[in-house]
Amino acid sequence: MSNHPENEPVLGYAPRSSERVALQVELNRQMNEVVEIPCIINGERVFTGTTTTQVIPHKHGHIIANVHLAGKDEIAAACDAAINAQSDWIDMGLEARCAIFEKCADLLAGNWRMKVNAATMLNQSKTCFQAEIDSACELIDFWRFNCHYAREFHGLYQPLVSPKGVQNSTEIRPLEGFVLAITPFNFSSIAANLPSAPAIVGCTAVWKPSRNSYHSNYVLMELMMEAGLPPGVINFVPSSGPDISDVCLSNAEFAGVHFTGSTAVFQGLWQRIGQALPEMKSYPRIVGETGGKDFVVAHPNCDEQGLLVALLRGAFEYQGQKCSAASRAYVPTSVWNRISSPLCEEVKKIKMGDVCDFTNFMSAVIDQRAFDKITGYINRAKENPDCEIIVGGGSDDSVGWYIEPTIIVSSNPKSESMIEEIFGPVLTVYVYDDADFEATLQLCDESSPYALTGSIFATDEGDIDTAFNALRFTAGNFYINDKPTGAAVAQQPFGGARASGTNDKAGGPLNLLRWISPRSVKHTIDIPHDWEYAFMSED
């Protein structure tokens, strides 16, 4: 038996399977209730009375929750609760902390699975499969593997040498103060992981969830409390971004930020932290995974059917709202002449609609703002003489925020949809001359500020090597003959560099190391009793 956890198996939800029946029952139940969501501060449910509604993106007239928002006073109370809880949390020790998060994983793998998946499906418009790989499997893996990695490095980082009369050791301390976890809407797993990864190694956290995933995130907060998370260790505060920044970044005990979201918000946070430094007790750790403009480069000798499937799944699963979604492709003329029609035919077969209808492959985008932003890109492409929309291009926000899977062919490799993050179901293709493979790799490297994920399709090892070297800094997660999405914990630790983040690889030991601040301890057994050194004697 291996001494590490295994990845949680993905359930298939085939017709008449027991998991499908259970999920449908839970979806029906959640469709018929409106949850009152409080803040959770120091383990207490706080109903502030200042509320906002949470709607279902694919049926935006349907309210699933009323959410009580934290104002500045509640955020300040959450910071205090986290600070006050830290000493006991450290004293519990690593094993007891891991036992709680491993219990979280077991609950999620068991009785809580359908509740969490249904909440993610309704709140974020994910199909059952997209919810299963996110809110169940990835989060179970985050919890189990992070505990495993934390145990491993607590033993690893001990001093190599203790000379006679001395015992050297390293105490793996957490950061002093509280960690601010600011989380994105698109992955429930990331939302729960950002406060809990630092907590495993002894930090305490203030968790600001996204306004578009309060419902699913609250279910996960409840799960952690059920697993025995002590009061104050993670404080759940739905609130506005500016309020969170104002209160947390001016608190001297602010120890660091664990962020996933857009590049612009992260850069703003970093600047504010820089300005606040003179008031801080410590230098805060800044960990952020941000946007992407993820690519697929095809070589003339590639597997064309494999490329077609990777483009379709990579660009359109979860409506393209993955930071890793394929959103630009560089395809040689010969290949494009053969695959463009079949690709469009397959895209036209994609069924889009309510996630409760399991035959749908896609659903709605997250909110009106996203709908307006994405359709803006599509409409500008329609006007742009360099661009042609070869499939899709339609949208309808009357019932839900639906946007058709859309492919734009651009003759300009620097047109806006080739270089900017759109975060929706839009793929832009640049068709290059078959002879220009190497120049195209350079173009791919230079065209966008992001460097998150990307893939190369080629069959010849030499061509793969050429791309591997040319694209070294173009992606933090690099795929060969596969779509650029779907990284698995403990298999492909995730994160990108350049404008895509600090590349601290969520779900791996490197991320956990950012939340510790070791203390080196020298324990002298043979205590010197003579202050004079040998060199000082006269002969």
Active-site residues, by number, are: 289, 323
Nearer to ligand NAD, 417 or 440 (CB): 417
In angstroms, what is the minimal distance from the CB of 290 to ligand NAD? Answer: 5
In angstroms, what is the minimal distance from the CB of 327 to ligand NAD? Answer: 10
In angstroms, what is the minimal distance from the CB of 511 to ligand NAD? Answer: 11
Q: Which of 42, 51, 262, 360 binds ligand NAD (CB under 6 A)?
A: 262
- Report the sign of the C-alpha dihedral through residues 486, 496, 190, 403, in that order: negative
Q: Which of 265, 280, 443, 488 binds ligand NAD (CB under 6 A)?
A: 265
Q: Which of residues 210-229 bind ligand NAD (CB under 6 A)?
A: 210-211
Nearest to 121 by CA among 15, 2, 13, 224: 13
Is residue 268 at the binding interface for ligand NAD, with CB under 6 A as the rule?
yes
Q: Where are the beta strands (DSSP E) in 277-391?
A: 285-289, 294-298, 326-332, 387-391
- Give bridge partners of residue 381 from the DSSP assignment: none
- Give bridge partners of residue 166 from the DSSP assignment: 524
Nearest to 465 by CA among 441, 430, 435, 483: 441
Is residue 260 at the binding interface for ligand NAD, with CB under 6 A as the rule?
yes
Amino acid at residue number 60: H
Token readout for 14 is 């085939």
Is residue 408 at the binding interface for ligand NAD, with CB under 6 A as the rule?
no
Is residue 141 at the binding interface for ligand NAD, with CB under 6 A as the rule?
no
Nearer to ligand NAD, 117 or 124 (CB): 124
Number of residues that bind ligand NAD (CB under 6 A): 32
Helices and strands counted in the chain (H then E)? 16, 23
Residue, CB closest to ligand NAD: 241
In angstroms, what is the minimal distance from the CB of 254 to ligand NAD? Answer: 13
Q: How far apart are CA 236 and CA 205, in angstroms?
A: 9
User: What character string, x for contact with ligand NAD (CB under 6 A) and - otherwise, covers 161-200?
Assistant: ---------------------xxxxxx--x----------
Site stretch for ligand NAD (CB under 6 A), options 102-110, 350-358, 458-466, 493-501: 493-501
Burial (Cβ within 10 Å: 0-12, 13-18, ≥19) of residue 14: exposed
Token readout for 191 is 């939302």
Q: Kindly calculate the radius of gyration of the chain based on its CA atoms and give it in whole angstroms.
A: 25
Q: Which of 323, 408, 419, 426 binds ligand NAD (CB under 6 A)?
A: 323
Q: In the 3-class helix/strand/coil scheme, how is 16-49 assigned residue by residue?
A: CCHHHHHHHHHHHHHHCCCEEECEEECCEEECCC
Site stretch for ligand NAD (CB under 6 A), options 35-43, 205-213, 230-238, 438-446: 205-213
Nearer to ligand NAD, 290 or 395 (CB): 290
Question: Any idea what DSSP says for residue 472?
Answer: T
Amino acid at residue number 337: N
Is residue 284 at the binding interface for ligand NAD, with CB under 6 A as the rule?
no
Is residue 242 at the binding interface for ligand NAD, with CB under 6 A as the rule?
yes
Is residue 393 at the binding interface for ligand NAD, with CB under 6 A as the rule?
no
Is residue 353 at the binding interface for ligand NAD, with CB under 6 A as the rule?
no
Nearest to 64 by CA among 121, 21, 111, 108: 121
Give the total residue count for the chain.
539
Is residue 245 at the binding interface for ligand NAD, with CB under 6 A as the rule?
yes
Is residue 474 at the binding interface for ligand NAD, with CB under 6 A as the rule?
no
Burial (Cβ within 10 Å: 0-12, 13-18, ≥19) of residue 174: buried
The contact set with ligand NAD (CB under 6 A) reads 182-187, 190, 208, 210-211, 241-242, 244-245, 260-262, 265, 268-269, 289-292, 323, 421, 423, 452, 494, 496, 500-501
